[in-house]
Amino acid sequence: MGYGIIGTGSYLPPTIVTNDVLAERTGVTPGWIEERTGVRERRYCTSEQATSDLAGEAARRALEAAGLPAELLDFVVLGTSTPDFPQPATATVVQAAIGADRAAAFDVNSVCTSFVYALDTARGLLSADPQARYALVIGADVYSRQLNFDDHRSAVLFGDGAGAVVLGPVEDGYGMLTSRLLSDGRLRELVKVPGGGSRSPLTPASMMAGEHFFTMRGRAVRDYVVTVVPELLCSLLKEHDLTIEDIDLVVPHQANAVLLRRCFAEAGVSLDKLHLTCPLYGNTAAASIPVTLDDVVSDRGIERGSLVVMLGIGGGMSAGASLHRWPGASGGFQ
């Protein structure tokens, strides 16, 4: 018996922020934003919403799709780099909100790769515990509250959102087949929020210096992406004697539509197999893969037996990918 995705769900907050709005705020033109990022609009939270609110709504929708009551969950694993607060884990807030009373709940932070790491962790926990059957895996982030709008190159990319999947038992040979996780801490300075931790606690002086803002060295990150993505994809497929042509669907982290199309085309992936949601939602960080997966499921479905790759790149630097044979087991899946 394997473990696979038996339900998906997502939630995007209601406030739509167009390129016209951000152009005025960042001092660039709407055309400049779309030409360089492929993003046309993104969603921002309301002032009353936090990461756990988005995550909880996506979780409820995934559970409904799976036809599974929250009381049967064994694990709630939340991938995020924008928790509600430093402690406790935001997953525990979600656990209480959805009534998953018997589940162990914890957070995973690998920045934009957090969902892929969380998914692999949940699969490992289920496989190791003969009494466990179901895990809820969520990716959720609220980046709008840590963007520096004086930095137009990064501020125009990000939006807020949450996506979730339910992992459960599936027929042998289906579900999550394999995964690859990578980290390179030598490159940790490329993507960061420098203030707010034990090394540099937030003070009035550090906030005046902007240490609470997200920073990214865009050119170096791009170089990392174009180098790592083809290598990671080939490594993932090699274990199962597969080629790029065997893959039916690629669900990537939605970093930048222009970069993604270029990178996967160079890796030999036909662009009709690449599903993108960043033109409408921007880069929703840890949420982007499960949000995009749910978009595919809701829009056209995924046929049973299809080979699906989910692949993310994030700060750390980190990278991760997983290969799935779609189970089509429940939740109205084909």
DSSP 209: T
Which residue, among 272, 308, 273, 266, has the nearest Cα to 290 in the 3D structure? 308
Is-contact 169 133, C-beta < 8 A? yes
The one catalytic residue in 19, 109, 256, 283 is: 283
- Active site annotation includes 109: no
DSSP secondary structure, 1-26, as one string? -EEEEEEEEEE--SEEEEHHHHHHHH
DSSP H or E stretch at residue 231: helix 218-238
> What span, in angstroms and rounded, lies between the C-alpha atoms of 102 and 93?
14
Q: SS3 of 321, please?
A: strand
Max Cα distance, the chain (Å): 57
Rounded to 5°, angle at Cα 106 from 100 and 112: 120
Report helix, strand or coil for 133: coil
Q: Is 52 helix (H, G, I), strand (E, B) or coil?
A: helix
Residue 253 known to be catalytic? yes
Q: Which among 112, 256, 278, 324 is annotated as catalytic?
A: 112
Find how far residue 103's CA is from the centre of its chain. Answer: 22
**Strand boundaries in 92-171, DSSP class E:** 104-108, 135-141, 161-170
**Beta pairing class for 307-314 and 318-325:** antiparallel
DSSP code of residue 300: T
Q: How many CB atoms lie within 10 A of CB 97?
A: 16
Burial of 131 (0-12, 13-18, 19+ CB in 10 A): exposed
Report the 10 Å Cβ neighbour count for 40: 17
Active site residue 45: no
What type of residue sits at position 128? A
Tell me which of 109, 253, 256, 324 is the catalytic residue: 253
CA atoms of 164 and 97, how far apart (whole Å): 15
* Residues that are catalytic: 112, 253, 283
